[in-house]
Amino acid sequence: MKEYRTCTCNEIDLKDVGKKVRIAGFVQTIRDFGGLVFLDIRDMYGITQVVTSGKDDDVDFASHIPLESCISIYGEVKKRDEETVNPKLKTGLVEIRIEEISILGKRTENLPFEVNTNQEIREDLRLQYRFLDLRNDRLKNNLLLRAKVLQFLRNEMIKQGFLEVQTPILTSSSPEGARDYLVPSRLHPGEFYALPQAPQQFKQLLMVSGIDKYFQIAPCFRDEDARADRAPGEFYQLDMEMAYATQEDVFTAIEPVIYNTFKEYSNKKITNYPFPRISYNESMLKYGTDKPDLRNPLFIIDLSEFFNKCTFKPFINRTVRAIKIKGHLSKGFHEKLLQYAISIGMGGLRIFRSSR
């Protein structure tokens, strides 16, 4: 028999009733009913309820195990009584009657915060106790989602004949728009390696070498100030390169990858491919930015020709552009709209009300 566990905490069900199993995980809750103690044991995969025998020693020992301690349980799988069935759990129809209980790692200090809770916790405290923070279901599910998305991206690229190549992390510095992170060399005092801002030179080297289609989930390191749409430090990107390819060839290769990934892992409405193509000039004139959010129904309309027919001199022979907004506008919305206008170079924006 395996020393620590024979199954995970989401595997047992009615077909296992009568079997002897061993599970291991963290103590999530303890419910002491005097003659019996129920414990919920949690691992990465799920939760299983275990229950002590009626012996006083077993009850006393189990009731004093600190929460979030790591334990191993051995016992027989039993069907739960009807009134104790938990339909929210995959293992909610069964429980394990404890025959042996071993503490693998006992919690010796008070918990700085509850692990599975929706309450706001200071970030510095979460990072200080990161091993507890990562036990939270939300963060665990984020890690699982990230792993699934990366695997899905790999499969999509490999299906199209792309070869995954891991490019070097320690490299020489090259001008790519941001500051490099530098790593001092022990063997060559006074000299430094640079962390790559992107695999640009390496993937071009692969193309010259005859590697036809390359991709990787590439780490990129940039020592730059934080922006609204980018955090400083490191980030990862799906990086690709194709030989003998036109712009349309690249679009044809990457659009189904993006569409299929979001279709698989997002519950949002997704635009089918081929995606809309908007030129830079059209985007700036219509949306005021080169990266428009197409979910926004507001866009800029050129009214210069119409206002050239009026007698109001400030509008004659001038460029007049407007955003049409339906409904009542609050004062706060006015201010936000003006701030937005200034940010996209429409500092001369004025707001007019119309009955139409």
Is residue 192 a contact partner of residue 184, using CB atoms and an 8 Å limit?
A: yes
> What is the spatial distance between Cα 12 and Cα 76, in angstroms, rounded to a whole number?
11
Percentage of the chain lying above the pLDDT 70 cut: 91
Cα–Cα dist 306/304, whole Å = 5
- What digits encode the pLDDT tens for the residues 181-233? 999 999 999 999 999 999 999 999 999 999 999 999 999 999 988 877 777 88
Beta bridge partners of 47: 42
In the predicted model, what is the mean pLDDT of residues 56-68? 90
DSSP 243: S
- Alpha helix stretches (DSSP H) within 115-136: 123-128, 130-133
Which long-range contacts does 297-300 make (Cβ < 8 Å, 24+ apart)?
298/323, 298/324, 298/325, 299/323, 300/346
For residue 334, pLDDT beyond 70:
no
Neighbouring residues of 110: CB distance < 8 A, sequence distance ≥ 6: none
Positive or negative torsion for Cα 265, 257, 134, 26: positive
pTM above 0.85, yes or no: no
pLDDT at 331: 59
Strand partners, 192: 184
Check residues 106 and 225 and name the one with the higher pLDDT: 106
Query: Mean pLDDT over all residues of the chain?
Result: 87
The whole-number average pLDDT for the span 255-282 is: 92
Predicted pLDDT at 28: 94
Q: Could you tell me how many residues make up the chain?
A: 356
Longest dimension (CA), the chain: 97
- Collapse the DSSP code of 201 into the 3-class scheme (helix H, G, I; strand E, B; otherwise coil) and give the result: helix
What contacts 271, CB < 8 A, 6 or more positions away? 259, 294
Least confident span in 230-239, 241-250, 301-310: 301-310
